[in-house]
Amino acid sequence: MTDRQPFLKATYGGHRVARVPAEDAELTHVGPGTPAGEYLRRFWQPVALTQDLGDLPKAIRILGEDLVVFCDLSGRIGLLHKHCSHRGTSLEYGRLEKEGVRCCYHGWLFAVDGTILETPNETSGRSLAGRLCHGAYPVEELAGLIFAYMGPPEAQPPFRLLDTLDVPGYDLGLGNPIGVECVKPCNWLQIMDNVVDPVHEPFLHARHSGYQFLNEEGKPVTELEEIGEYDFVETPAGLLCQETRRIDEDIWVRQIEYVLPNIAQIPRTPVFPAPYPEGADEVVYLPWVTRWRVPIDDENTAEFALVRLRPGEENIYITDPGPVVRTNYGGRPYEEMQRYPGDYEAQISQRQIARHGTEHLTGSDRGVMLMRAMVRDGIHAVAEGQDPRGLARESGGHLATYGSDVVFRRPRAATTDNDSATLRERQDAVARRALKTPPVGAGGVFRI
């Protein structure tokens, strides 16, 4: 049961709610052995960028663990516990060699799989080399991201791609803006809360801070200002968060997808009037960006992203990011952050770990409630020795996802009530179709 403040029903009653409840540790603490930490460790997680691997090891912190990532002189990538097994010196000061990384202090040599290859300081004649191993994690590389599996070796699932990361006719690019540290000083869960909250878009990203979303023509998406018909649909992968709006003679079904346990998929924002092909009355915008929110520790979170690009298309996501991307990260002047806040300010200002016991959730927060329940269910499944929802054991193939933005040509209904019913019907139809045939594999519609 979440510790919470009393409901305040009197003015000037600040003293009655001055005590701040404790955080929901089951969902927010991520170190080794914690419930959420063990849950997140059952999934492959991005931990570093390939471009950061040079001729020196790189120290990183992920899920409360201090590690070093490196590429040895044979081209193999390693992810090892940071502190040398001999006397604890950090391997970030080690030397990269053909077989692995060598500690600067006494020359112990570690392979990428943790095998201790050499212990040259030993004189007893009974070497530890070949008999002991150093802590290491398996890694995979994809489109400039390095992924790691940090859970129990016996529970390791295959490394499988989301279907949106292998769409025929499209390339993948990094979605981490150049020169920007993609780290937020807050807990991972409150960043994921933002993903499943479509109603924040018209307020934060339009009415309050100006139009922060741009379409692919570089024009502000003014259509986001209106609150639409919203709904939340569970999928095998997670949750579709839908908001549907009337745009003149068009209907825009917007879907932000939450993919368990810590992934957001966001489509390109449409161009209006919609670019319908001749004879068609529907356009589907597949997800443009796939973003992971990976805990560094309980109070800091790293973001990693990939974007889907047409062949030869400039990756403006990193070379010329729009306002919604720029305001997703820190580094701006404080007054600018106050006048034009974005996701960064909205998320980190909830405290480094948000206190659920201070919240007053409403109907538009149903996605938040559903997402937290899914995470809690996954935590309990892992604790009971079961696979959590969203974890696939089958090798080969892709993991299906279900989100897209869809624009239909539909004349306005005669009355406001009838038009609202039309919006809800289109919204439901898009979700039903996606669950039956995921958008990436669907044919017969014009896809962007």
Residue-wise pLDDT for 191-244, tens only, equals: 999 999 999 999 999 999 999 999 888 899 999 998 999 999 999 999 999 999
pLDDT at 88 over 90: yes
Q: E-assigned strands of 175-249? A: 183-184, 229-234, 238-247
CA distance 325 to 327: 5
CA distance 230 to 14: 34
Rounded mean pLDDT of the chain? 93
Residue-level pLDDT at 32 = 97
CA distance 366 to 373: 11
Residue-level pLDDT at 125 = 64
pLDDT at 445 over 80: no
Nearest by Cα to 410 from 274, 211, 289, 206:
274
pLDDT at 123 over 60: yes
Nearest by Cα to 285 from 260, 264, 308:
308
Relative orientation angle of helices 366-383 and 188-195, to the nearest 10 degrees = 130
Nearest by Cα to 315 from 201, 421, 174:
174
Task: Name the pLDDT band for 418 (thresholds 50, 70, 90).
Answer: confident
Strand-pair category, 100-102 with 109-110: antiparallel
- pTM of the entire predicted model: 0.94
CA distance 47 to 94: 20
Token pair of 197, please?
Answer: 């909250």
pLDDT at 354 over 60: yes
Residue-level pLDDT at 448 = 58
pLDDT at 274 over 80: yes
Matching CATH number, 45-148, of 1.20.1440.230, 2.102.10.10, 3.40.50.720, 1.10.340.70:
2.102.10.10
Strand-pair category, 65-71 with 263-267: unpaired
Residue-level pLDDT at 334 = 96
CA 192 to chain CA centroid, Å, is: 7
Over residues 143-171, the mean pLDDT reads: 94
CB contact set of 433 (below 8 Å; sequence gap of 6+)? 442
CA distance 253 to 213: 16
Q: How many residues does the chain have?
A: 448
Helix (H, G, I), strand (E, B) or coil at 295: strand
CA 335 to chain CA centroid, Å, is: 28
Residue-level pLDDT at 279 = 86
Percent over 90 (pLDDT), the chain: 80
Residue-level pLDDT at 203 = 94
pLDDT digits (tens, 9 = 90+) for 288-342: 999 999 999 999 999 999 999 989 999 988 888 889 999 999 999 999 999 999 9
Percent over 70 (pLDDT), the chain: 97
Task: Name the pLDDT band for 446 (thresholds 50, 70, 90).
Answer: low
Per-residue burial over 214-249, b if 16 or more Cβ lie within 10 Å, else e, is bbeeeebbebbeeebbbbbbbbebbbbbbbbbbbee
pLDDT digits (tens, 9 = 90+) for 40-73: 999 999 999 999 999 999 999 999 999 999 999 9
Contacts of residues 418-421 at CB distance under 8 Å and 24 or more positions apart, as own/partner, are 419/246, 420/229
Residue-level pLDDT at 392 = 87
CB contact set of 78 (below 8 Å; sequence gap of 6+)? 68, 69, 70, 71, 72, 100, 101, 110, 111, 112, 113, 136, 139
Q: What are phi and psi of 16, to 5 degrees?
A: -75, -20
CA distance 209 to 260: 30
CB contact set of 434 (below 8 Å; sequence gap of 6+)? 235, 240, 255, 402, 403, 404
Over residues 24-38, the mean pLDDT reads: 98
Token pair of 169, please?
Answer: 């006719």
All structural domains of the chain with their residue ranges:
45-148, 163-447
Q: How far apart, in Å, are the Cα atoms of 306 and each of 206, 209, 274, 440?
A: 25, 26, 26, 16
pLDDT digits (tens, 9 = 90+) for 237-261: 999 999 999 999 999 999 999 999 9
pLDDT at 443 over 90: no
Q: Are 247 and 223 in contact (CB under 8 A)?
A: yes
CA dihedral 390, 396, 399, 404 (to 10 degrees): 180
DSSP per position, 98-122: TTEEE-TTT--EE-TT-BEEE-TT-
Token pair of 229, please?
Answer: 């018909």
User: What count of other Cβ atoms lies within 10 Å of the Cβ of residue 331?
Assistant: 10
**Alpha-carbon torsion (34, 40, 43, 46), positive or negative:** negative
Helix (H) or strand (E) holding 252: strand 250-259
